[in-house]
Amino acid sequence: MSEPIDRGTAIAVIGAGSSGLPAAKNLREYGFEVDVLEREDDLGGNWNFGKPNSRVYRSTHMISSKPFTQYPDFPMPDGFPDYPHHAQVLEYFRRYARHFGLHEVIEFGTSVERVEPVPLAGGSGADESPRWDVTVTKDGRTETRRYAGVVVANGHNWFPKTPSYPGQEDFAGEIIHSADYKDPGVLRGRRVLVVGAGNTGCDIAVEGAQHAEHTYHSTRRGYWYNQKYVFGKPADQVSDVFFGLNLPTRFIQWAFEKTVRMTVGDFARHGLKEPDHRMLETHPIVNQTLLYYVGHGEITPVDDIEHFERDRVVLTDGRAVEVDLVVFCTGYLIRFPFLDEDVIGMQDGRPELYRHVFHPVHDNLFVIGLIQPDSGQFKLVHWQTVAVARYLALKDRDPVRAREFREQVRRHVHERSLGGIEMVDSTRHLVEVEHVDYLRALARLINEDLSPRDVLTTAGAAR
Amino acid sequence: MTRPTTRLEQPEPVLTPIEWSFPAPPVERELLEVLPEQPTGKPPILFVHGLSHGAWCWREHWMPAAAADGWRTYAVSLRGHGASAGREHLDRTLLRHYVHDVLQAITELPEPPVLVGHSMGGLVVQHVLERYAARAGVLVAPASAFHGLGSLGLLLRHRPRQVLRALAGRTLELDRELLFSDDLDEATAQRYVDRLGPEGALVQHQLVLPRRPRPSKAPVLVIGAGDDRMVPVIDVVRTARHYGTRAHVFRGMAHDMMLEPDWKAPLELVLRWLEDTVGRDR
Ligand SMILES: Cc1cc2nc3c(=O)[nH]c(=O)nc-3n(C[C@H](O)[C@H](O)[C@H](O)COP(=O)(O)OP(=O)(O)OC[C@H]3O[C@@H](n4cnc5c(N)ncnc54)[C@H](O)[C@@H]3O)c2cc1C
């Protein structure tokens, strides 16, 4: 194999979705050269409807309102609604990329096949970080480039997690995963079983109510269905007042549960399962219309699947439903096809990272966007990337302090940011974060732990 | 390495819960533009007006002159000002809504601009520079980085009745002596004064309150007017010191430097500084 192309001090960013874009912008803002390597011929990742890795469907709108979602230094246009449509979100990324000149650094049609650390030469200090060989294919050619660091932003909502039940192979109807669900055309005139009560599952159940002959919605447990609007305002704008006031979690849970009770009332009366957990202990579901269709008899809530037969699905409570389409809305698995599992450090289905970003062994390998917040994602990822940029800048400016930070990463790698809430069903919440708690943690990193000592002491003296 | 604009000295505004729960109401804004005949590689300039003014005040001299020098120039009217909507909500408008207006105008530009703010607009620009890496910031007779007591004192001395009325919630009445020097002819001065609009009562109060913008994400130039009756020269000097630079004070000029008969002198200094700071970059 030929010698790798030396990219000097440049940093590789893998992916030009909502995470890769602010990574490039903020690294450049802090003075670093970046190459953004993007497999597709366009940016936007998940939000570019119809692209191979996109998982939005024709009707997808944001579930968090604008102020919680947008990048803090580039607000979404005032002309956008509270909850923009996926086409507007893509338009927003285009404006962002154009404004910050990111097309200068994005290489489209460049697929990352392999990322590996270059072994350190013998005798080097324990502090030395490896460089990274990144092998890409571009226009049918393969080449390897050597970078000073790698920011992984390949998304975590693309590799379908598909359950398997006894008899599934003999089922005469069709089974798809929501990853392949693009619009309600496939539902028309069919009897549909939607499996899973994530936001996608609830959305598709509602589309079933509007288009299918009948829709069954199978959920493992009862959930708290949040409204998109409370008191005429986007619900997250109201609920954050509670978070901001630093009220006890128990009280917040009580208040939110009361609000849901006011509209939903008795879950059992609708045939819904009673939630078996407190509010906030599962990833929030925001859906204002599911209950409406349940009440109109268009959606029948049903139990978990027990097994499949030729033309029906038997549920755990012994009942059976006759359906000809099953849509698994059972989520996604975390995958890094280009990194060896022991390099990235996979553990129980996710890499072990400090604050979901910093690697405990390799201080110049970062993962961003690998969070599932109870709020908008882009804002949080913006601050993740600022923390990355500041760490790299700190290494040049104050190596002693940078070493202290690495120690902190190693020591506290297990800390989570869940606002003191125990999540139920942990496999579904591997990367869940409570946004205020998480932002507080990032703020501490950015403005304290990743500031040079001389800056901190002068700021302290001035205070 | 590319040119860093943000340094490790810069604290980042991560937690802004008030803005998340109480976002600025959306509004239609006026954005004027005057472009050079030949496109040049210079970054765009976005002008932000002050108390009761509108984008029009830049359209008079500075925008065409800067455009003739090769700069793409834009001017935004803050909500409730000029031809922007939102006048009926001015009594509920806050300074941070103006900050939002400027950020919104920025996102409409093809690349990060230079921000030029006058008077109250100078304070709005200081707040934008805390969080947005503009190419550069120029503060023209800016409202102080610390508090508005200096301005309040000046106004109390010269216009006590107007100040009392403003404190009671009315728009501060600006007249030709407050804004212009005697050198500006009566007819022109009157024309400008006639274009002034209402100002938000809460904003007028906020202008007096203590504050201390975080360091800027971009290089800052501060200029002031020697005969300013709105912002005392000492405040301009202190604001400049806050940004680690020295104020350039133009003797014999009054507050509305971009409308004064001698408007060319400060503009020339600004453009020369911009040329050195950001002009040759790309
Ligand atoms: C239906 C649905 C609704 C959602 N709604 C919301 C919402 O309302 N609010 C919210 O905040 N989040 C929402 N999300 C979460 C969503 O995942 C994030 O908003 C965001 O899209 C994640 O961005 P990303 O850049 O991390 O990943 P992606 O958007 O997946 O981008 C990854 C990019 O990396 C590229 N890539 C991957 N592998 C390689 C490789 N080997 N080589 C080169 N390039 C590669 C891909 O082509 C892609 O462009 C939703 C997700 C789904 C599925």
Tokens (6 digits) for A457:
């002491």
Residue A126: what pLDDT?
57
Arithmetic mean of pLDDT, A192-210: 96
pLDDT over 90 at A99, yes or no = yes
> Distance between alpha carbon A226 and the CA centroid of its chain, in Å?
19
Give all domains of chain B, ordered by start, each with its CATH number.
17-281 (3.40.50.1820)
**What is the chain B residue with the closest CA to A384?**
B14
Quote the strand ranges of A337-425, DSSP E. 346-347, 350-351, 365-367, 372-373
Quote the strand ranges of B35-161, DSSP E. 45-48, 73-76, 114-118, 136-140
Arithmetic mean of pLDDT, B148-176: 96
Instruction: Confirm whether A5-158+333-462 and A162-330 share one CATH topology.
Output: yes
Helices within A178-312 (DSSP H only)? 199-211, 235-244, 249-264, 290-295
Residues on chain A touching B2 (C-beta within 8 angstroms) = 28, 31-33
Lowest-confidence range among A77-81, B8-12, B64-68, B118-122? Answer: B8-12
Note whether A32 contacts B: Cβ–Cβ < 8 A.
Answer: yes
A5-158+333-462: CATH topology is FAD/NAD(P)-binding domain (3.50.50)
Cβ–Cβ of A455/B8 closer than 8 Å? yes
Index of the ligand 1 atom closest to the CA of residue A155: 27
Residue A127: what pLDDT?
65
Residues with Cβ within 8 Å of A47's Cβ and at least 6 positions away in sequence, in order, are: A17, A18, A54, A56, A86, A89, A90, A93
Note whether A413 contacts B: Cβ–Cβ < 8 A.
Answer: no
Q: Domain spans of chain A? A: 5-158+333-462, 162-330
Best of A27, A34, A73, A355 to mutate (most B CBs within 10 Å, chain B) = A73
Q: Look at the pTM and tell me if it is higher than 0.80.
A: yes
The angle at the Cα of A191, spanning A188 to A192, to the nearest 5 degrees, equals 90
Arithmetic mean of pLDDT, B241-263: 97
Element (H, E) at A124: none
Residue with tokens 């936007």: A44
Residue A358's SS3 state is strand
Residue A308: what pLDDT?
97
Residue A462: what pLDDT?
43
Distances (CA, A) of B178 to A396, B130, B157, B182: 51, 30, 12, 11
Residues 124-183 of A with CB under 8 A from B: none
Distances (CA, A) of B274 to A26, A168, B40, B43, B136: 23, 69, 14, 10, 8
Index of the ligand 1 atom closest to the CA of residue A21: 25
Contact at 8 Å (CB) between A161 and A23? no
Distances (CA, A) of A133 to A4, A116, A119, B62, B167: 7, 5, 10, 52, 65
Arithmetic mean of pLDDT, A363-388: 97
**Separation CA A272–CA A374 (nearest Å):** 23
**Separation CA B50–CA B95 (nearest Å):** 12
Query: Per residue in B201-238, pLDDT tens?
Result: 999 999 999 999 999 999 999 999 999 999 999 999 99
Nearest by CB to residue A30, choosing from B6, B111, B131, is B6
Residue with tokens 């009325």: B165
CATH among 3.40.50.10110, 2.70.240.10, 3.40.50.150, 3.50.50.60 for A162-330: 3.50.50.60
pLDDT over 90 at A1, yes or no = no
Residue B282 — pLDDT band, cuts 50, 70, 90?
very low
Lowest-confidence range among A170-174, A264-268, B23-27, B187-191? Answer: A264-268
Query: Per residue in A327-357, pLDDT tens?
Result: 999 999 999 999 999 999 999 899 999 999 9
Does the CA dihedral A414-A419-A421-A424 come out positive or negative? negative
Does the CA dihedral A3-A5-A9-A11 come out positive or negative? negative
Q: DSSP label at A131? A: P
Contact at 8 Å (CB) between A359 and A391? no
Of A300, A139, A89, nearest in space to A208 by CA: A300
Residue with tokens 């976005």: B46
Residue A420: what pLDDT?
75
Expressed in angstroms and rounded, the spacing between residue A377 Cα and the centre of ligand 1 is 10
Residue B263 dihedral angles phi and psi, to the nearest 5°: -60, -25
Residue A258: what pLDDT?
86
**Separation CA A380–CA A369 (nearest Å):** 8
Residue A233: what pLDDT?
92
Of A30, A335, A2, A337, nearest in space to A157 by CA: A335
Arithmetic mean of pLDDT, A98-114: 98
> Pocket residues for ligand 1 (CB within 6 Å)?
A 14-20, 37-40, 45-47, 53, 55-56, 60, 62-64, 69, 111-112, 153-155, 157-158, 200, 338, 369, 376-377
Q: DSSP label at A241? A: H
**Separation CA A290–CA B73 (nearest Å):** 50
Residue A366: what pLDDT?
98
pLDDT over 80 at A209, yes or no = yes
Index of the ligand 1 atom closest to the CA of residue A37: 43
Kindly provide the b/e burial profile for residues B187-200, where b requires at least 16 CB atoms within 10 angstroms of the residue's own CB.
eebeebbeebeebb
| Share of residues in chain A with pLDDT > 70 (%) | 97
**Separation CA B86–CA A386 (nearest Å):** 35
Contact at 8 Å (CB) between A43 and A16? yes
Arithmetic mean of pLDDT, B59-63: 98
Q: What's the mean pLDDT when you consider all of chain A?
A: 92
Arithmetic mean of pLDDT, B48-70: 98
Query: Per residue in A291-323, pLDDT tens?
Result: 899 989 999 999 999 999 999 999 999 999 999
Expressed in angstroms and rounded, the spacing between residue A147 Cα and the centre of ligand 1 is 24
Residue A263: what pLDDT?
78
- A/B interface, count of CB pairs below 8 Å: 104
Contact at 8 Å (CB) between A373 and A421? no
Residue A125: what pLDDT?
56
Index of the ligand 1 atom closest to the CA of residue A17: 25
Residues with Cβ within 8 Å of A66's Cβ and at least 6 positions away in sequence, in order, are: A75, A76, A80, A82, A83, A84, B23
Cβ–Cβ of A29/B5 closer than 8 Å? yes
pLDDT over 60 at A418, yes or no = yes
Residue A288 — pLDDT band, cuts 50, 70, 90?
confident
Does the CA dihedral A207-A210-A213-A216 come out positive or negative? positive
Nearest by CB to residue A9, choosing from B1, B109, B132, is B1
Note whether A237 contacts B: Cβ–Cβ < 8 A.
Answer: yes
Of A16, A344, A8, A11, nearest in space to A149 by CA: A11
Cβ–Cβ of A452/B8 closer than 8 Å? yes
Kindly provide the b/e burial profile for residues A333-366, where b requires at least 16 CB atoms within 10 angstroms of the residue's own CB.
ebebebbeeebbbbeeebbebbbbbbbbbbbbbb
pLDDT over 80 at A203, yes or no = yes
Residue with tokens 């970046």: A34
Residue B1: what pLDDT?
39
Residues with Cβ within 8 Å of B37's Cβ and at least 6 positions away in sequence, in order, are: none
Contact at 8 Å (CB) between B65 and A38? no
Residue A461: what pLDDT?
45
pLDDT over 90 at B5, yes or no = no
Note whether A267 contacts B: Cβ–Cβ < 8 A.
Answer: no
Tokens (6 digits) for A90:
């893509």
Q: DSSP label at B185? A: -
> Distance between alpha carbon B124 and the CA centroid of its chain, in Å?
7
Query: Per residue in A221-240, pLDDT tens?
Result: 888 888 889 888 999 998 88
Quote the strand ranges of B69-140, DSSP E. 73-76, 114-118, 136-140
Query: Per residue in B264-277, pLDDT tens?
Result: 999 999 999 999 99
Residue B3: what pLDDT?
60
Residue A256: what pLDDT?
85
**Separation CA A228–CA A232 (nearest Å):** 9
Tokens (6 digits) for A394:
């700190």
**What is the chain A residue with the closest CA to B106?**
A74
pLDDT over 50 at B34, yes or no = yes
Per the rule left: phi > 0, alpha: psi between -120 and 50, beta: everything else, A137 is beta
Residues 357-386 of A with CB under 8 A from B: 383, 386
Lowest-confidence range among A24-28, A284-288, B110-114? Answer: A284-288
Q: Which residues pair with B139 in a beta bridge?
A: B117, B222
pLDDT over 60 at A123, yes or no = no
Residue A424: what pLDDT?
78
Residue B270: what pLDDT?
98
